[in-house]
Amino acid sequence: MNFLEFEQPIAELEAKIDELRHVTVNGEVSITEEITRLQKKSQRLTESIFSTLSSWQVSQLARHPQRPFTLDYVHRMLTDFQELKGDRAFADDHAIVGGIGRLDGRPVMVIGQQKGRDTKEKLFRNFGMPKPEGYRKALRLMRMAERFHMPVLTFIDTPGAYPGVGAEERGQSEAIARNLFEMAALRVPLIATVIGEGGSGGALAIGVCDHLIMLQYATYSVISPEGCASILWKSAERASDAAEAMGITANRLRELELVDEIVPEPLGGAHRDPDAAAKTLRGTLLTAVTRFAELPVEELLRLRAERTRNFGNFQESA
């Protein structure tokens, strides 16, 4: 298990339990009791630490290297999944994956950003930062879903769209904008889930939806805490202040009515028990898909337009 800095007390306790386990092999009965006692203590400690997480700590959980990524959920939730690749114009972007599978028997289109776990895979996935061809692949798959009447499930997990020379040359801005434009009128249900890091326009480009779900320890923000800190505080070191100020956690965003539903994670975060995390999320998605698939298309589009139209806070002066 990979522990974060604020989890160090838990890590120490778990290490002690591990040590004791090795002793048990020699057949001491009283040690088993001791282990049970310590495990209970570890659970209480985890509960207590996780009940008061700061925004910055949640942000670290959202980016945890062991956290389940899009394909981890897809393989646990869907049957018959077949990945579909390429934008038909330039390339296949490995930072976005998509394909068709069955959710409880119903064919659905899934699209999500994909990060990598080890160095090699991280590079292959470009750290989950899509290029224009990734967003264009996503749009191609959404249009395909529309043609075959499949609900679209998107999984958001990206630091942001890739800021590179080639991405600019191929129209990163246009690719993102086009998705926002087309998704506004896509004639099938769009259910978006932030499973990890929801980084800015690069996240929103697959995030326009009828129903927005966030995992308990996911974040969603207009700019990364580091980016915000380096602009406004002139120092990336102040990322924790920026994270707090912007309101990026699921709880805060639910209070602000920007998120429709929060899916609880296993104690200590989704990476502690990916199977349980996937099972809970699957149930939530199933309910959402069923609810929106039942709506007549015109009603679905009316509700989506209303939802999007109402974003914002302002005053009207006399």
Partner 1 sequence: MNWFEKLLPPKIKTSASATKRGVPEGLWTKCKTCNAVLYRAELERNLDVCPKCDHHMRIGARKRLDCFLDPEGRQEIGVQLRPVDVLKFRDERKYRDRLHDAQKKTDEPDALVVLQGTLKGLPLVSCAFEFGFMGGSMGSVVGERFVLGVERCLEQDLPLVCFCASGGARMQEGLFSLMQMAKTSAALRRLSDRGLPYVSVLTDPTTGGVSASLGMLGDVNVGEPNALIGFAGPRVIEQTVRQTLPEGFQRSEFLLEHGAIDMILDRRDMRDRIHSLLSMMLGK
Q: Catalog residues that contact partner 1 under the rule CB under 8 A.
A: 161-165, 167-174, 176-178, 180-182, 184-185, 200-201, 204-205, 207-208, 220-223, 227-228, 231-234, 241-242, 245-248, 253, 256, 258, 305, 308-309, 311-318
| Torsion on CA atoms 121, 122, 125, 131, rounded to nearest 10 | -160
- For the bound state, the minimum distance from the C-beta of residue 301 to partner 1, rounded and expressed in Å, comes to 10
| For partner 1, the closer CB: 1 or 231 | 231
Q: Judge contact between 288 and 106, C-beta under 8 A.
A: no
| For partner 1, the closer CB: 100 or 191 | 191
- For the bound state, the minimum distance from the C-beta of residue 244 to partner 1, rounded and expressed in Å, comes to 10
Any idea how long the chain is? 318
Strand, helix or coil for residue 174: helix
- For the bound state, the minimum distance from the C-beta of residue 123 to partner 1, rounded and expressed in Å, comes to 14
| For partner 1, the closer CB: 45 or 177 | 177
DSSP assignment, residue 233?
I
| For partner 1, the closer CB: 227 or 268 | 227
Max Cα distance, the chain (Å): 81
DSSP assignment, residue 230?
I
- For the bound state, the minimum distance from the C-beta of residue 92 to partner 1, rounded and expressed in Å, comes to 21
- For the bound state, the minimum distance from the C-beta of residue 264 to partner 1, rounded and expressed in Å, comes to 21
Beta-ladder partners of 197: 219
* Number of CB atoms found within 10 A of residue 208's CB: 22
Strand, helix or coil for residue 302: helix
Q: Judge contact between 293 and 151, C-beta under 8 A.
A: yes
| For partner 1, the closer CB: 182 or 261 | 182
Tokens of 249: 């956690």
| For partner 1, the closer CB: 27 or 312 | 312
- For the bound state, the minimum distance from the C-beta of residue 176 to partner 1, rounded and expressed in Å, comes to 4
Q: Judge contact between 242 and 225, C-beta under 8 A.
A: yes
CA angle 58, 62, 63 (to 5 degrees): 120
Tokens of 176: 């993102």
